[in-house]
Amino acid sequence: MEPYNDGWLYSGSARDRLWNKSAIGKKINNKLLLTSSEVIFCHNHRHIDWPNNEWFDNEIIKNPNLINESIVIEALRVPGNKVMLTKFFEKEEKEKCHIDTWALRWNSNNHPRKDQPESEVRWFHSSDLIDREDLLLWAESVYLNGRLAEVLIVDNEQAVVTYNITSENPQGELEALSQVILDEIAGFKRTIIDNERVFVNYENQWPYDQIGIDYGGGRIIDDISEKLIMENRELWSPEVSVFSDLLSRGLHPRPGFKYGTLWRCYDQKIGTDHAPWLIVNPSNQTINWENACLASRLASGVNKIWLQPLKINEEWNYLGIIRPPANSRWTNPIKK
């Protein structure tokens, strides 16, 4: 094996088998160009010798992320997926995927020489902070390419978990909030009952089920709802603005305290079905992958989608971080 273009050219007898069967590396003339992480995979799983005795020690000095990259490749390839890293893509190949995509993935029955990839892949360490806008725009671009947007997360135990990234558009069947309704509610008598809630007395019928909770012949309204009703729009916090957006979509947000989120969100009248979404507080801008993975796993366990709101061009967008089906959760064999 010899160094070439920040990679390694392999000319051994297994080169054709590595490409034809497993789509490992990139064919150059009659040789196979491998990234350093692919060299590690071939050494551990295809019985290929190191380029030299000091190779591994030297490579992890050059690339501190090399061990994590090799673990991600292992998680993808051990189940049989074909993976092509974008590192050595030519210009025309790069134009077929997003600039931030680390690899393309094919399932075990397909091959890059004849089939389109199933997904575009990125990886992160569990301690990395999430850049919501970057992730959302990447997922939207990948979706337009007709592919899944997959992220693999590596923790300090070198364990890997997989999540699908989506741009969600939650919509409901309920009446959207109008200014007429807000004005009517604003005219009712209100009593402050604690620092964050008011009790509203009203006659006849409450005009809008999605605001407040019935209690003792009146309605208890939380701080976010009260500011939506009484405050000027220019003074709204991100929480109030998202709450308004959810109501405009025909949804019914209710407190998500027991799920560790700001709201759980119904798309139909409460009692008809479970709430499909959990909505994170939009003011919480610093969240890492460790916390996101925990929250997404919890949401998956109760058949809900965990959404993070973010504002782009004055409109609210919703980033979904979703635990995939059991047959698409790429992980790695952990060696103790």
Domain range summary for the chain, segments of one domain joined by +: 1-64, 175-232
Which positions ≥6 away from 119 have C-beta within 8 Å? 104, 105, 142, 147, 148, 149, 150
Over the chain, what is the mean pLDDT?
A: 92
Report the alpha-carbon distance of residue 56 to residue 33 in Å, rounded: 17
- pTM here is 0.89
pLDDT greater than 90 at residue 294: no
pLDDT at residue 300 in the model: 86
Closest to 11 (Cα-Cα) out of 31, 26, 29? 31
Burial letters for 156-174: b for 16+ Cβ neighbours within 10 Å, e otherwise? eeeebbbbbbbbbebebeb
pLDDT tens profile 142-164: 999 999 999 999 999 999 999 99
Report the alpha-carbon distance of residue 50 to residue 8 in Å, rounded: 11
Instruction: Give the right CATH number for 1-64 from 3.50.50, 2.60.40, 3.60.21, 3.40.1170.
Output: 3.40.1170
Confidence label for 285 from pLDDT (cuts 50, 70 and 90): confident
pLDDT greater than 90 at residue 93: no
pLDDT tens profile 23-72: 999 999 889 999 999 999 999 999 999 999 999 999 999 999 999 999 99
Lowest mean pLDDT among 178-182, 190-194, 208-212, 305-309: 190-194
pLDDT at residue 335 in the model: 60
pLDDT greater than 90 at residue 94: no
pLDDT greater than 90 at residue 19: yes
pLDDT at residue 45 in the model: 93
Report the alpha-carbon distance of residue 42 to residue 47 in Å, rounded: 6
pLDDT at residue 336 in the model: 53
pLDDT greater than 80 at residue 117: yes
CA of 217: how far to CAs of 113, 205, 213, 226, in Å?
69, 10, 10, 18
